[in-house]
Structure 1
Amino acid sequence: MMYKILIAEDSKPILRHIKELLQSSELPVQVAHTASNGEDALQGLRRLDIDILITDIRMPKLDGLALIEEAKKLRPGLKAVLISGYNDFEYTRKAINLQVADYLLKPVERGALTEVMERVIGQLGEQLLKEIAVLDEVIDPAVGRELTLHPRFFRHKKLVFVLHLQYFQEAAPVYRPDHIQNVLNRSFAPHPLWVFATSKPKEMLVLADPAMLEGTAATMELLARIRAPLAEGGLPVSVAGHFEPAAASEIAGCYRALSGLLENRLSVAEPCLADAAHPAALPPEAPGDFERLAARYADKIQKLQKEPFLRQLEEQLLKWGRSNARIARLQRFVALLADAFATHRPAAGWRNDRLYRSEAMALFEKVSYGEFCSGLLALTEDWFAELQSLNKKGGNELFGQIDDYLRASLYSQVSLNELSAAFHVSPSYISRVVKKFARRTLMQHYLNLKIEEARKVMQSKPSIKIKELSDALCFYDQHYFSKVFKEYAGCSPSEFKATLDGAEP
């Protein structure tokens, strides 16, 4: 990266001397323009993307301080270095109010110039880090650690957009910042756009050159133009835009506002477009209607009325699907259901209250609304089974009964579905109870019991053949039995038998 410098000095020998010192230095700088008066320098600043201005205080047509003042209006992040003589300290003190980065005394020497330029370049680097840090609030942390932007990236204000991938879609491997950026840059060339992954997996932050507004009759038209090429590529996205160019310090706030705008407008079936300055009104909602609906379901949970609950829930979900319900409303309803189940669980229940919500909200990652509905019905049916079981018996009691059943079935095979039928609870609930009390999965617990039995048999019948024991305990073959035995006993069956004989294996 080369920093661009403009030198304004009315003395040609001094100007030539400073230019030669900079060009012969090993600093990452480039002299982009020289000027012999203040007005010429100001014209250069208007035309060129200058990082550092080096100017004499006493300049014809426009003195150095006035030049810096005008330059700061054009480029607030510009770094200015004053050149002054010994009698110009009064001017130098005035320069403090203009946030001059540094100053040089005449005659300008290589060492002093190098020292000043290194300081100024360091300030530009720190300024860039602060500007990038503004994005840390919204972009994916993994991306932020690797983010490299041109130092002039934030010099000009940007348009801010947020993309949100439609819910209930197949996984989209091309929903990546680099792919989306390439698609949009092809559509909007020559105006560049930059795309960043955010901390929300379905959302992308898009920054754009304000010049892309040229020739656009309406903001909604531009939002539709952003969405169209992505939809053609299999990425149905909702788009929200902030059409007042934003400075670096304003980007995070714009993102949060746009993200919230979309969250309230996303629906089950169709992507949406939203202009931050003119958001469309949301459909009216009757006061208390939603709360009354949730209360009816909560009442059925409390009374353990599973069948009426599931029947009404299925009807409600179908109704919301037909009316293209808003995702925010659906999420709110699901959260209230989860909280109702958590509230009515017996004290014997092991489930953490927050787990109800996390399990329910995970359903919004389903690839279709139909799968979401069937998943919610299955999950709430499972929760009902858990509540009913815990009202009949504690989880500890159920585990004891399952453990007894497994111990009585060591010389056969027991499946999860068999246990579910035997104890009249859902398979997933059995898995959770065993995991809680055995600290192992059901299969791990069952295999451990079988290996314990195998060790007891070998201790009581040292002459038994390993294959005979493997077959009796219903293992697939002797090799698999030996593998499982070593995993749970810490040694192979033959090694274990050798220890019983008192010999080395």
Structure 2
Amino acid sequence: MIKIAVVDDEERIRLGLAKLIEQCGEDYKVVGCFASGPELLERLNDLQADLIMTDIKMPQMNGLQLIEKVQQRKPKIKFAIVSGFNDFAFARQAIRQGVEDYLLKPVDPSELAELLQRVKNNIEIERYRKEVATEEHIRLLLRNDPDHLPEHMIQGANRDLGQTLLLRDHFAVLLVRAEPDLPADRIEHCMSYWNREYRLVAWEPRHTVIVAAIREGDHADTARELAYTLLQQLPHSSAVRIGVSGIHQGPLKLRDAYVQAELCMQSSWYEPGPKAMADAASAGKRDDSYNPLRLLEKEFRPALHALDFAKAEVAVEEWLGELSKHRPAWQALTEGVSYLFGLIRDEWNERQSHPSGQPDELTVPAPTTFAEWPAYKAALSASAKEQLESLKNAKHENRVVETVKSYIQKNYWKEMELQRLADVVYLTPSYLSKLFKTETGETITDYIISVRIERAKELLLKNPSLKTYEVGEQVGYPDPAYFNKVFKKLTGWTPKEFRERVRL
């Protein structure tokens, strides 16, 4: 709505103009009619007007003088001249002073309507630009430490925001997290009882920031009470967490307030149930000196290194219980979780001859993807158990491969059937074949051949009296032609050539 004040020394004219204005529609409201410039100036501080329509020639103070004085005190008010004189000099001076239009008496209703619509459009554009600028400045100071911003940006944001009712004095920041996401207008609908200035800022997914003015007469728990009432109003179908900052003063404290609210929201996230909140006073009781890595180093890592999987699982559960008690911030929590799974990966890589067999692309659960700590804790526990079980199985599979290798090395000259090898380790032939290839990078057949040929090379060099076909028989190749073919394929020489070249 555009609020308009009318100034004219003739009562009939000013009342008639006021009536014409109100006939232009409900978007326009006359907030005052004044008989002179001094009369309006007396009421200017309390007058909420967007547009002043004034006569030019009036006793005591003419219209141009009135415009000049109002502009000195409230430069954002717009003006229109209404005069019975078609005086170009007056019109030119009015234009220089930024007057929107110059209407002649008697006022033509269509010209008046056109003027008001134009003023309305201009005001709406200015308000929109101001709203955008205000929100951008709020976002800027919420996201950034002022010490890390260019000076001109700090000064501009501080100056503009300091003029708003929202940040002129004290304020608090509330951070609302909802799962599933709640649109800002849905949250704002639940704030209809707030009798104060506030600003909603759509933040990261599922997060909304609320900056609320704290007025004279409020108390230290006002922000907490606002948050608690909002929490009750929000739909029960959403899991909601609210963090509430302490009370701050001045736009440059927005970042500090947001960081407080974020830590409080993260603290409330540890609470079970669909809704929870925490303020700076309650979250401040958290032990910030707690290190999530301490118990992992003390209990979990030694158990893992010793491959004591039962003890390692117990250590994980104790660690999760410790996290529930200390409620570390998400960054510290994420570092602890990454360290936990990093230890498992490192142990796997150390134990395995081919680490690529490990599912090392596992995505570590992130707190931001869970509505509450109990669900995240359950996911962590399940994931840790799964990886420990995989490591345990890998340890067993590694022993299987070593057993098969040892059997082959001791019995390489014998006929090697896959079924016989599988029986040694109580596996099916197909599973053993796949496992051996995964763990060693070569097939069982290739491994048998490599062992036989290595032994044949030893016999060729150490026992020169042995015929090459006798060497072949001793390593499992009774067919001399086949022995020569396999030997040459692996070494590049026939057995005879190998013996002669090495001797030289």
Q: Distance in 2 between matches of 1:423 and 1:93?
A: 92
Q: Distance in 1 between matches of 2:301 and 2:37?
A: 76
CA shift digits 1:191-232 (9 cap, x unpaired): 25768584456644445565xx3433x43x213332454577
Distance 1:307 1:193, change over 3 A: farther
Instruction: Answer yes or no: is 1:239 the counterpart of 2:244.
Output: yes
Higher-Rg structure is 2
Displacement of 1:121: 1.0
Aligned residues: 346
Instruction: Answer yes or no: is 1:356 the counterpart of 2:359.
Output: no
Distance 1:378 1:56, change over 3 A: same
Q: What TM-score results when the alignment is normalised by the length of structure 2?
A: 0.51
Identify the residue that residue 320 of structure 1 maps to in structure 2.
323
Distance 1:314 1:21, change over 3 A: same
Identify the residue that residue 225 of structure 2 maps to in structure 1.
225
CA shift digits 1:367-392 (9 cap, x unpaired): x54x5433312112223445677899
Identify the residue that residue 68 of structure 1 maps to in structure 2.
71
Question: Tell me, which stretches of 5 or more residues in structure 2 are unaligned?
Answer: 140-162, 350-354, 398-429, 433-504
Question: Tell me, which stretches of 5 or more residues in structure 1 are unaligned?
Answer: 139-153, 394-421, 425-505
- Look up the SS of the partner of 1:225 in the other structure: helix
- Look up the SS of the partner of 2:123 in the other structure: helix
Q: Distance in 1 between matches of 2:25 and 2:115?
A: 14
Identify the residue that residue 126 of structure 2 maps to in structure 1.
127
**Could you tell me whether the CA contact under 8 Å between 2:18 and 2:30 is conserved in 1?**
yes
**Could you tell me whether the CA contact under 8 Å between 1:180 and 1:195 is conserved in 2?**
no
Identify the residue that residue 378 of structure 1 maps to in structure 2.
382
Distance 1:128 1:172, change over 3 A: same
**Could you tell me whether the CA contact under 8 Å between 2:317 and 2:381 is conserved in 1?**
yes
Q: Distance in 1 between matches of 2:258 and 2:74?
A: 36
Judge which range, 194-203 or 43-52, deviates more. Answer: 194-203
CA shift digits 1:444-499 (9 cap, x unpaired): xxxxxxxxxxxxxxxxxxxxxxxxxxxxxxxxxxxxxxxxxxxxxxxxxxxxxxxx
Please provide the CA RMSD for this pair. 5.1
Q: Write out aligned runs for 1:198-347 (5 A).
A: 198-200=202-204, 203-206=207-210, 208=212, 213-216=215-218, 218-219=219-220, 221-229=221-229, 237-240=242-245, 243-244=248-249, 254=254, 257-265=256-264, 266-267=266-267, 268-269=270-271, 271-274=277-280, 283=287, 285=289, 307-337=310-340, 346-347=355-356
Q: Distance in 1 between matches of 2:389 and 2:250?
A: 55
- Look up the SS of the partner of 2:74 in the other structure: helix
Displacement of 1:9: 3.4
Q: Distance in 1 between matches of 2:345 and 2:111?
A: 71
User: Match for 1:29: what amino acid?
Assistant: Y
Aligned mate of 1:103, from 94, 101, 104: 101
User: Match for 2:102: what amino acid?
Assistant: L
User: Match for 1:380: what amino acid?
Assistant: A
- Look up the SS of the partner of 1:102 in the other structure: coil
Identify the residue that residue 447 of structure 1 maps to in structure 2.
none
Distance 1:318 1:52, change over 3 A: same
Displacement of 1:8: 2.5
Q: Distance in 1 between matches of 2:24 and 2:95?
A: 29
Displacement of 1:165: 6.0
Q: Distance in 2 between matches of 1:91 and 1:331?
A: 67
**Could you tell me whether the CA contact under 8 Å between 1:338 and 1:360 is conserved in 2?**
no
**Could you tell me whether the CA contact under 8 Å between 2:198 and 2:213 is conserved in 1?**
no
